[in-house]
């Protein structure tokens, strides 16, 4: 999605990854769980991001971005090198990420990770945290928790053909 204001600070490009083995009960994006579908080269997605004028950064969500750690590492490095901020939403906890060399490398150029499994009983749906157990892991000083708390919970986008897309923390609307 080339522009969003509900998926991180500022106007952002949003990338959804395909594939998630965590399958959290009540997940907002269950259609992204199967690890099937058309594949896109990292360079192709980077080029699309960099060709989008006026964006502050990119948010990578899923599915589970850290189940593709090499691709995420390459993507984040190239986007950060271009001066854009990078936010990653993950179902893995900070401890799980830090315990995995591949996952740790994948977030080395990321500014903020919103980490932890979605827990339906702790539904929150604000600040890009679907549930209150999810944590902010600032990996740079670019973004603060307060910036995320000011995000709109839901964004409604209507394209020229009339297709309506809801994005943000829309789980409570389903």
Considering the chain, what is the average pLDDT of its residues? Answer: 91
Burial class, 132, CB count within 10 angstroms (exposed 0-12 / middle 13-18 / buried 19+): middle
Over the stretch 140-163, which tens digit does the pLDDT of each residue have? 999 999 999 999 888 888 888 988
> Can you tell me the distance from the alpha carbon of 70 to that of 49, in angstroms, rounded to the nearest whole number?
18
Determine the pLDDT at residue 9.
96
pLDDT at 173: 45
For the chain, domain boundaries: 12-173
The pLDDT, as a whole number, for residue 96 is: 98
> Is 105 within 8 Å of 129 (Cβ atoms)?
no
User: What is the share, in percent, of the chain residues with pLDDT greater than 70?
Assistant: 97
pLDDT digits (tens, 9 = 90+) for 66-116: 999 999 999 999 999 999 999 999 999 999 999 999 999 999 999 999 999
Going by pLDDT thresholds of 50, 70 and 90, the confidence category of residue 28 is confident
Residue 172 has pLDDT above 70, yes or no: no
pTM of the model: 0.91
CA distance readout (Å), 50 to 67, 78, 80: 24, 9, 11
């Amino acid at each position: 999605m080339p522009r969003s204001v509900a998926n991180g600070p500022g106007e952002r490009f949003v990338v959804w990854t395909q594939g998630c083995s965590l399958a959290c009960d009540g997940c907002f994006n269950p259609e992204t769980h199967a690890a099937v579908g058309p594949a896109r080269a990292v360079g192709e997605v980077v080029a699309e991001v960099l060709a989008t004028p006026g964006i502050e950064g990119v948010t990578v969500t899923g599915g589970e971005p850290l189940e593709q750690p090499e691709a995420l590492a390459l993507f984040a490095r190239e986007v950060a090198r271009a001066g854009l901020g990078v936010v990653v939403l993950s179902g893995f906890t900070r401890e799980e990420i830090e315990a995995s060399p591949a996952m740790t490398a994948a977030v080395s150029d990321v500014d903020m990770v919103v980490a932890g499994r979605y827990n339906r009983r702790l539904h929150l749906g604000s600040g890009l945290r679907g549930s209150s157990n999810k944590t902010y892991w600032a990996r740079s000083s670019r973004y603060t928790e307060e910036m995320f708390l000011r995000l709109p919970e839901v964004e409604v986008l209507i394209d020229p053909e009339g297709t309506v897309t809801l994005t943000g923390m829309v789980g409570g609307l389903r």
